[in-house]
C-alpha cells in the first residue's frame, strides 16, 4: 500500500518520500524495510535512528526529525490501531455447524452462526446472527447469545445467561458458575442456592480465564462496552456500569455496585456490598473496604484518597530513618539528665 493512501486513511501528513510502498507493520525494534511502525512514548525515540522501518508514525506535536519518512498524525497509537485493522485481517470460521458438535433439538441457531467441533448447546438456547463458537464451548440450558459475538475455545456459559450483541469472551472463561455462599447450621455448612443469571451487555469483552458468577436471585450485570482483563473474578449479584475497565487479577465480592467509566487496576480486591461511584480510579493492589464517591482516585491497602495514601507510604518508608534519629535523641536526653 502506498504511503500516500495510508496518509489519507489516517488524515496524516507525510514528511519525506511520498512514493514509499508499505508492505507490513511491526514494532519499531523489529521493523524492516517496507514496514511501518510508530512512536507514542518518549522511551521509544531512541530507536528512531536504529530502525529499518520505511516509515514511522509520530505525533504532530513531536519535535522528532529523521532522514527516514515520517507520518505526522494527531495520535500515533490510534493511527496504528486503525492501520493494524487494514494490514491484519482476522479470519474467523465460516457459517455452519460442525457434525462433531452436540446440539439440542430445540436450540435455535441462526443460519449465519458458526459452531465449532465438540461444542455443546443445551435446551432452549439461542445463537444470533454471525455469532461464532470456537471448538469446545459449552452453552447451558436457556442461555441466549446475540448477534456478532465471538466465543473462543474452552469457554463455559452456564444456564440462564444472557449475552447481548458483539460480546467477545476469550478462552477458558466461565460465565454463570454458582456464587460462593454458605451459612452455618447445626448440620454444618449449607450451600446457598444461586438461582439467578448473568447479563453481559453490548460490546463487553471478557479476557481469558476470568469468572463471572450467577446471582442468588436476579442477575449479575456487566454494562455495555466494559472491558475485563484475564484472571478477573466477579462474584454473585455484582453490577458494573458501562465503559469501565477491570485489569488482571481483580476480585470483586458479592453485591457490590460499580459505576460507569471506572478503572480498577490489577490485583485490587473489593469487599462485598459496596457502592463504587462513576469515574472512579482505583490503583493497583488496592484493598477497597468502603464505598467510594463519584470521581475519586484511591490507592493503597487499605485504599484511601490517592495523595494521602502516597504520603503515608512515603512516611512508612522513612520509619527506619526516623527510628534511628529518635534513638539518638533519646541517648542525648539521657546524657543531659
Catalytic residues: 236
Residue located via cell numbers 462485598: 272
Distance from C-alpha of 161 to C-alpha of 164, rounded to nearest angstrom: 10
Q: How many helices (H) and strands (E) does the chain have?
A: 4, 38
Residue 207 near residue 250, CB atoms below 8 Å: no
Q: Which helix (H) or strand (E) holds 233?
A: strand 233-234
Residue located via cell numbers 468502603: 290
Question: Which has the closest alpha carbon to 258: 239, 284, 282, 230?
Answer: 239
List phi, psi (to 5°) of 335.
-70, -30
Q: Which residues contact 313 (CB under 8 A, 6 or more apart)?
A: 300
DSSP state of 79: H
Pinpoint the alpha helices (H) of 127-213: none
> Cβ–Cβ contacts within 10 Å for residue 275, how many?
14
Q: Left if phi > 0, otherwise alpha if psi is -120 to 50, otherwise beta: which for 105?
A: alpha
Pull the grid cell for residue 275: 457502592
Amino acid at each position: 500500500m502506498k504511503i500516500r493512501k495510508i496518509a489519507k486513511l489516517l488524515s496524516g501528513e507525510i514528511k519525506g518520500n511520498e512514493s514509499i510502498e508499505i508492505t507490513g507493520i511491526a514494532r519499531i525494534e523489529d521493523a524492516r524495510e517496507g514496514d511501518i511502525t510508530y512512536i507514542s512514548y518518549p522511551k521509544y525515540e531512541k530507536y528512531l535512528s536504529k530502525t529499518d522501518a520505511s516509515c514511522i508514525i509520530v505525533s504532530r506535536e513531536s519535535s522528532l526529525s529523521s532522514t527516514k519518512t515520517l507520518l505526522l498524525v494527531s495520535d500515533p497509537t490510534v493511527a496504528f490501531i486503525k492501520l493494524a485493522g487494514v494490514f491484519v485481517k482476522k479470519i474467523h470460521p465460516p457459517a455452519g455447524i460442525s457434525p462433531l458438535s452436540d446440539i439440542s433439538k430445540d436450540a435455535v441457531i441462526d443460519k449465519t452462526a458458526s459452531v465449532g467441533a465438540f461444542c455443546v448447546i443445551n435446551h432452549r438456547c439461542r445463537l444470533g446472527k454471525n455469532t461464532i463458537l470456537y471448538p469446545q464451548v459449552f452453552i447451558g440450558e436457556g442461555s441466549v447469545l446475540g448477534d456478532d459475538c465471538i466465543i473462543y475455545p474452552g469457554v463455559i456459559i452456564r444456564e440462564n445467561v444472557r449475552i447481548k450483541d458483539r460480546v467477545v469472551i476469550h478462552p477458558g472463561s466461565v460465565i454463570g458458575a454458582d456464587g460462593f455462599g454458605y451459612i452455618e447450621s447445626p448440620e454444618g455448612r449449607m450451600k446457598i442456592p444461586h438461582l439467578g443469571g448473568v447479563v453481559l451487555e453490548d460490546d463487553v469483552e471478557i479476557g481469558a480465564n476470568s469468572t463471572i458468577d450467577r446471582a442468588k436471585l436476579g442477575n449479575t450485570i456487566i454494562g455495555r462496552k466494559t472491558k475485563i482483563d484475564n484472571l478477573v473474578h466477579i462474584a454473585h449479584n455484582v453490577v458494573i456500569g458501562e465503559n469501565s475497565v477491570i485489569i488482571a487479577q481483580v476480585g470483586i465480592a458479592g453485591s457490590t455496585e460499580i459505576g460507569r467509566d471506572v478503572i480498577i487496576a490489577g490485583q485490587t480486591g473489593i469487599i462485598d456490598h459496596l457502592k463504587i461511584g462513576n469515574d472512579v480510579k482505583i490503583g493497583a493492589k488496592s484493598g477497597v473496604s468502603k464505598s467510594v464517591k463519584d470521581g475519586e482516585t484511591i490507592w493503597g491497602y487499605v485504599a484511601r484518597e490517592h495523595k494521602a495514601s502516597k504520603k503515608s507510604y512515603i512516611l512508612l518508608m522513612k520509619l527506619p530513618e526516623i527510628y534511628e534519629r529518635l534513638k539518638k535523641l533519646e541517648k542525648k536526653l539521657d546524657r543531659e539528665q
